[in-house]
Amino acid sequence: MLLAKVYVTLKKAILDPQGKAIAASLHALDYAEVSEVRMGKYLEVRLQGVSPSQAEHRVEEMCQRLLANQVIEDFRFEIIQEERGTPQ
Amino acid sequence: MLLAKVYVTLKKAILDPQGKAIAASLHALDYAEVSEVRMGKYLEVRLQGVSPSQAEHRVEEMCQRLLANQVIEDFRFEIIQEERGTPQ
Amino acid sequence: MKWGVVTFPGSNDDRDSLYCLDTVLAQHAVALWHKDPDLHGVDAIVLPGGYSYGDYLRCGALARFSPVMHSVIEFAQAGGPVLGMCNGFQILCEAGLLPGALVRNQSLLYVGDWVRVRVENTRTVFTTACQDKEILALPIKHGEGCYVADRPTLQSLEDNGQVVFRYANAAGEIDPAANPNGSLNNIAGITNRQANVVGLMPHPEHAVEALLGGEDGRKLFCSLLS
Amino acid sequence: MAPTVTLQLAEDHGLTADEYDHILQLLGHPPSFEELGVFSVMWSEHCSYKSSRRFLSQLPTTGPAILQGPGENAGIVDIGDGLAVVFKIESHNHPSFIEPYHGAATGVGGILRDVFTMGARPIASLNSLRFGAPDHPRTPYLVKGVVAGIGGYGNSVGVPTVGGEVSFDPGYNGNILVNAFTLGVVRTDRIFRARAAGAGNPVMYVGSRTGRDGIHGASLLASREFDARSEELRPAVQVGDPFTENLLIEACLELMQRDLIVAIQDMGAAGLTSSSVEMAGRGGTGFSLNLDTIPVREEGITPYELLLSESQERMLLVAKAGCEEDVRAIFARWDLPAVVVGHVTDDARFRAEWQGQEVVSIPVSALTDEAPAYERPAGPPVDLAIRQSLDLTSIPVPTDYNHIVLQLLRSPNLASKEWVYRQYDALVCGNTVVPSGSDAAVIRIKGTKTGIGLSVDCNSRYCLQDPYRGAVIAVAESARNLAVSGARAVALSDCLNFGNPEKPEVMWQFQQAIAGMRDACDALGLAVVSGNVSFYNETAGTAIPPTPTVAMVGILPDVARHVTQWFKQPGDVIILLGETLEELGASEYLSVIHGQVAGLPPSVDLAQEKRLQDLCIHAAQEQLLSSAHDVAEGGLAIALAEACTTGPGPGIGGHVTFAEPLCGSLRYDALLFGESQSRVVISLPAENVSRLQTLARAASVACTVLGEVGGTALDITGVIQLPVAQLQHEWRTALARQIGL
Ligand SMILES: Nc1ncnc2c1ncn2[C@@H]1O[C@H](COP(=O)(O)OP(=O)(O)O)[C@@H](O)[C@H]1O
Ligand SMILES: [Mg+2]
């Protein structure tokens, strides 16, 4: 089975209220070393019966059509082989 | 500058309506090869003035205390060196 | 009887809770500020609804670390009455004062409506004024009110009678169709072992005036007065 | 390096050659790049109202209770007890089409700031939504996104959404409408205005830091037609932060309890520039800003971007000299930055310096008074006569009316909007007496007996067929929605959504609508106290149906005497107030059942309308009524069906028999589904009937006994027999089914 790990992040210039609030809390917890937090999405998409190369192009398409909102988000993904039934 | 990439995922036992909904929409868009979608969080935490080994231990702590709720979530993270001003 | 209502940044129903307590129920109620660990000698604490810190990481996650919460946790552990409504319930879970967690509604939609809950435990400090199995009409308004816990936790909750409220239908039956958010076992509210800390997703503070739709919520506050 | 300014560059900024010449004259030299940016936004349609100013002045804006009409951030109406309500409606159409969630969310955030900037605590919001055809592929995505965005922001910021409207029409396929309304309450002695004063007083910036959000939102997004190029404008979309807005509200209201500031204004469209220019303009002063001091979110932001950024959750205020520290302290308590970014001057110029050099120096009047104002050519569409003609004989009189009632209840325009408003927090603030679900929302004002009635309305099909009549009806219906709820309409805020004003037929529609609103307001004794004009709602050259949305505000002296629209008590007598004419033009029935948009909208006799509304209010005050529901889209049959089904719980039936003169005189479909105005279905205990009839006679309002409340079916003798359970199920579930939500 193939596992596509999809990372969806806010475009650089777009305000990230969540990241901002999390960074503030981390500072309040004395993690002064934290300079910035950006919040994104991580999706695990499991695929069956397609070749890695097909998957490449299908997942790219899924991201563009549904998984990422390209008005405000960027995405990237990687595809790995997964031994049956051991999704991590 | 150090970049900690933190992945927070729902525990297997916890059902994931968002993942389900996304899988359903993907099927509706004829991505029949999709067998499962799990929705998680992806955080980019930028750190300054700490060594990679300190960072390891600090980020572990941040995850346990704040970034993940271990009642329902698992987390993992990796820490990479980032050239100034080119966050990806 | 002196009540304290905590205001976190992003709290919304804090003013409504104060109005409910001092104006409607004629109680002595004071606002507690998230940055101030001093509880000002209150006898009971309300953690109100809203979106503390925007609920930006997880609902209630960021609030639990605010200075006042350290005192609230001590207060609760010493047996002080603490009522968490909606976001307050989420904060109590994040703070570990109550087991389990509240996640996204199964429908993935925010739900604002009036529901019925059945009182399952009349021995908590906030339900002594209720009849056993009494049905209360209360409003809900949340996007993340689906109560979850792992099997053992859920089992012990049930075994110890820590489930205080369940979503029920008009006939008072625990009907999946009456469950607005997918909570396990139709759980709407729970208590801790000592029964001094109660958290629920519905908003009793918004059900204390007939003009505004109902008065069943009074029972929770009056329990502490009787 | 800033580009050198040319006519070409000016035109890329949406300015015309003539406008550019005018700028050269006003300045006496070519503008700097920054100055060009400032002119382009201040002279944009969105900020300057250049096509609409002349006509807006026809609207009545004053009245005994009116404390503030148009010209400030929001209108203000005195409600007694030393209190006033502050309200405004505003559009966020184009951003919501590009990014429905954040577009709608930031629309809510923006209107909230317009209200609390005047010192009022926001306590209720409404929203008016227009989407394309139910079966248009983009419609479900837009509906879900917009509704989630309104809820996501409004719920989080802690202001209840208590009412609104949603409708669907192919005319909005490429250009949806999202109009957001907020009402706040303020002590009359604590009203703040945005008039800068006192040369030397510090100008302070509070709230979120400035990023590159929405550069040119005003000039490019809100003031241009929509086309493929809009894709390139995507970066112009802004993300809102309701959490910060929540803190901003609390901090500003705390600030306003003290005597520390002279003026305050939100940074909305055209951000720092417009708020500075407007505050200086109203106060007849100048502004000098040091752009190096603006709190920024990212590095390398240019002065041009600083001036034009539309980053959300920001306010600009003029503090009293010496009070800076106190202001800072209050915002620090809420973890918000408050920074001195300039000062008020007495030279009536808008100046901005950056890194030691002056990048902007423009006479304020050049940006306000001197802004262009056009009287654009106007004329009716060529096909108007054809569109307005309707030959009823060509419309077959149906046989199975049960079927038609069900079909109408399933039409997304008539179906329950519960799917929408269940996603809103209607209760926070603890004032909501009647939330979404009845003709008008009713909220109570704490510490008084007073209630406020709220309703937002516009039937754009009526407006398309006859913009004058459509606008009259929009005003009349929203006031009627209040009257049936027991509230007397006092004032309104309007959101005028139209196509490209450079097209004569659009300008004609606009002028007709203004005239209609004016006449209706005069007849009903209403004032327009705030509003917003949204032009260029077009896609690929097609204008939306004219949509002059009316948000009405009214008062109940005793909130306990409010009335809701559903039947309550078996045995109550059902009465129809008002007269039914043979009017099927532009009706929902004609469009849903016969697939036609044709004919004139129903006629309105405004004097009759006024008497009807006074009667309803009077009857409510005497507590004669169990329910009152105005007859609107779908006509009498649907009004009766709604009275049976829309209440909490399983609903309750009604038995109705039509006697002379109602039946016989007109077609049955006109009787059942015609949308004649000035009609209300009421139910009341038998013992109150004679009193009501006396009042009706005195008011010369037709008063026809229709039947009796009771049973489990809607039963209209001889024509309709439907179980309430079935009606309710169809009505409740239709929207999600029809749209695929
Ligand atoms: N977008 C919305 N947000 C909140 N409430 C809404 C919305 N759309 C409709 N409603 C509510 O649904 C009910 C029916 O709306 P509508 O048919 O427009 O009423 P009316 O025809 O009397 O103006 C009203 O109570 C209205 O407030
Ligand atoms: Mg109505």
Residue D250 is predicted with a pLDDT of 97
D100-116 and D139-157 helices cross at what angle (nearest 10)?
40
The distance from CA D97 to its chain's CA centroid, rounded to whole angstroms, is 17
Looking at residue D234, what is its pLDDT? Answer: 36
Strands D161-168 and D121-131: parallel
- A38 Cβ neighbours under 8 A, 6+ residues apart: A9, A10, A16, A19, B43, B44, B87
* Chain D closest-CA separation from residue C11 CA (Å): 8
Secondary-structure percent of chain A, ordered helix, strand, coil, rounded to 5:
30, 35, 30
C86 as an active site residue: the answer is yes
Give the neighbours of chain C: at least 3 Cβ pairs within 8 Å.
A, B, D
pLDDT of residue D236: 59
Say whether pLDDT at B86 is over 60. Answer: no
**How many angstroms separate the Cα of D630 from the Cα of each of D213, D227, D453, D480?**
44, 40, 15, 7
The predicted pLDDT at position D1 comes to: 65
Yes or no: say if D643 and D629 are a contact pair by the CB < 8 Å rule. yes
Cα–Cα distance measured from residue A38 to residue C179, given in angstroms and rounded to the nearest whole number: 35
Q: What is the pLDDT of residues D456-500, one digit of tens each?
A: 999 999 999 999 999 999 999 999 999 999 999 999 999 999 999
The Å distance, Cα D418 to ligand 1 centre, comes to: 9
Number of H helices, E strands in chain D: 26, 28
pLDDT of B13 reads 87
* Torsion sign, CA atoms C150, C156, C158, C161: negative
Closest C-alpha among C214, C130, C115 to residue C164: C130
* Tokens representing residue D702 in the block: 């037709």
CA–CA separation, A14 and D297 (whole Å): 10
Query: Relative to the alpha carbon of D634, which ligand is closest?
Result: 1
Instruction: Please state, in angstroms and rounded to a whole number, the distance separating the CA atoms of residues D648 and C101.
Output: 32
Pocket test for ligand 1, best of D421, D422, D425, D616 (most atoms within 8 A of CB): D421
| In contact, A38 and B55? CB cutoff 8 Å | no
- Determine whether D733 is exposed, middle or buried from the number of CB atoms within 10 Å of its CB (0-12, 13-18, 19+): middle
Residue C142 is among the residues annotated as catalytic for this protein:
no
In this predicted structure, what is the pLDDT of residue D123?
98
Q: Are D142 and D136 in contact (CB under 8 A)?
A: no
The structure tokens listed for A77 are: 């993904």
Of the candidates D230, D242, D107, D232, the residue with the CA atom closest to the CA atom of residue D177: D107
Burial label for D581, CB within 10 Å (0-12, 13-18, 19+), is: middle
CA-based torsion, C209, C211, C213, C214: positive or negative: positive
**Chain D residues near residue C212 by CB distance under 8 angstroms:** 427, 430-433, 444
Burial class of residue D297, CB neighbours in 10 A (0-12, 13-18, 19+)? middle
Cβ D30 vs Cβ D5: under 8 Å = yes
Q: Which of A25, A26, A39 to mutate to test the interface with C (most CBs of C within 10 A)?
A: A25
Which residues of A are less than 8 Å from D208 in CB distance? 15
Q: Is D92 a catalytic residue?
A: yes
Q: Chain A closest CA to B25's CA: distance in Å?
A: 8
User: In terms of pTM, does the model score above 0.90?
Assistant: yes
Identify the residue whose tokens are 């005239």: D515
Q: Which residues of chain D have pLDDT under 70?
A: 1, 216-236, 661
Q: Which pLDDT score is estimated for D224? A: 52
- DSSP annotation of D499 reads S
CA distance A18 to D243: 10
pLDDT attached to residue D215: 77
Whole-number Å distance between alpha carbons of D211 and A17: 12
Nearest CA in chain B to A74: B88
CA D109/CA D531 separation, integer angstroms: 16
Closest ligand 1 atom to the C-alpha of D457?
A: 23
The pLDDT mean for chain A works out to: 92
Rounded distance between C-alpha atoms, residue C107 and residue C181, angstroms: 7
User: Which among D155, D247, D430 has the least Cβ separation from residue C206?
Assistant: D430
Set of chain A residues whose Cβ sits within 8 Å of the Cβ of D99: 69, 71-72
Q: Does D213 touch chain A (CB under 8 A)?
A: yes
Compute the residue count for chain B.
Answer: 88
Q: Report ipTM (2 d.p.).
A: 0.94
List of chain C residues with pLDDT < 50: none
- What's at D417, amino acid-wise? K
Contact C16 D430 (CB under 8 A): yes
- Given C86, C93, C130, C146, which residue is catalytic? C86
* Residue D32 near residue D359, CB atoms below 8 Å: yes
Q: Which chains does D contact via 3+ CB–CB distances below 8 A?
A: A, C
Q: Which of A13, A17, A24 sits opposite D241 (nearest CB)?
A: A17
